């Protein structure tokens, strides 16, 4: 949990100074977005999309050519819903802190850009819900405390803000002996669990 705490503190610090750097080549701002996430793999049965959100800070190092550098540090609420009836597990809620660093290629006279590159995540919270219960049945699930994947974004830039749409695909099997004993459907098969999400957001 200590690395997660350090990253969360850094995230709030970046947000607090996000609008205070005037240098032309450096752009630091705030990103907020909604996401649609789910969990892929063979361990968990009947996954469905889940709505969540992200918020945090971004930084762009702008050069004199089309290739720039994009970085973001975000708090990310995601996970998956499941269609397992009234007595089966129905939702897994996850909170990650995401760090992405990737090249940004600008085109259309700088009005549009694309990013593709790696990200890493630290798991802060994980909870399992049963049926339509509002309170979590289990916490601190046996997920790995990190995830590594690939992110891709498309930006449409305006004078004071940008629109962003993109996806994050986890490459790490985050299953660390998941076994929800006594809950349907059966787990503990040592199958794969991978995160995937679609984000739609604004950058200020």
Q: What is the pLDDT of residue 18?
A: 46
Among candidate residues 179, 124, 145, the one with its CA nearest the CA of residue 8? 124
Are 197 and 151 spatial neighbours (Cβ–Cβ below 8 Å)?
A: no
pLDDT digits (tens, 9 = 90+) for 73-105: 999 999 999 999 999 999 999 999 999 999 999
Q: What pTM, to 2 d.p., does this model score?
A: 0.86
Average pLDDT over residues 166-189: 95
Rounded mean pLDDT of the chain?
90
Tell me what pLDDT residue 175 has. 98
In angstroms, the CA 198 to CA 50 distance is: 10
Cis peptide before 17 (omega within 30 of 0): no
Give the chain's domains with CATH numbers.
Answer: 2-203 (2.40.160.20)
Tens of pLDDT, residues 97-115: 999 999 999 998 888 999 9
Tell me the per-residue pLDDT of 25-69, one tens digit each, with 9 for 90 and over. Answer: 788 999 999 999 999 999 999 999 999 999 999 999 988 889 999
Tell me 186's DSSP state.
Answer: P
Band the pLDDT of 22: cuts 50, 70, 90.
Answer: very low
Instruction: Give, in degrees to the nearest 5, the angle at Cα 152 between 200 and 149.
Output: 110
pLDDT at 182 over 60: yes
The residue whose two tokens read 């100074």 is 17
The CA distance from 165 to 104, in Å, is: 14
Q: What is the pLDDT of residue 64?
A: 82
Q: Would you say 190 and 93 are in contact if contact means Cβ atoms under 8 Å apart? A: no
Based on the number of CB atoms within 10 Å of its own CB, is 182 exposed (0-12), middle (13-18) or buried (19 or more)?
exposed
pLDDT at residue 152 in the model: 98
């Amino acid at each position: 949990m200590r690395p997660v705490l350090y990253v969360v503190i850094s995230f709030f610090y970046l947000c607090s100074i996000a609008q205070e750097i005037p240098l032309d080549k450096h752009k630091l701002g705030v990103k907020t977005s909604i996401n649609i996430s789910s969990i892929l793999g063979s361990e968990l049965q009947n996954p469905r999309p889940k709505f969540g959100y992200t918020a945090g800070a971004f930084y762009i190092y702008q050069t004199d050519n089309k290739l720039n550098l994009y970085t973001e540090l975000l708090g990310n609420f995601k996970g998956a819903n499941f269609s397992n009836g009234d007595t089966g597990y129905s939702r897994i809620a996850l909170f990650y802190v995401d760090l992405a660093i990737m090249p940004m290629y600008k085109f259309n006279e700088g009005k549009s850009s694309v990013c593709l590159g790696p990200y890493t995540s630290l798991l802060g919270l994980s909870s399992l819900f049963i049926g339509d219960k509002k309170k979590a049945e289990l916490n601190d699930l046996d997920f790995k405390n990190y995830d590594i994947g690939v992110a891709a974004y498309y930006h449409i830039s305006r004078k004071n803000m940008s629109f962003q749409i993109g996806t994050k695909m986890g490459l790490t099997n985050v299953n660390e002996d998941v076994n929800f004993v006594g809950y349907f459907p059966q787990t503990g098969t040592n199958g794969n669990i991978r995160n995937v999400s679609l984000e739609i957001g604004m950058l200020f």
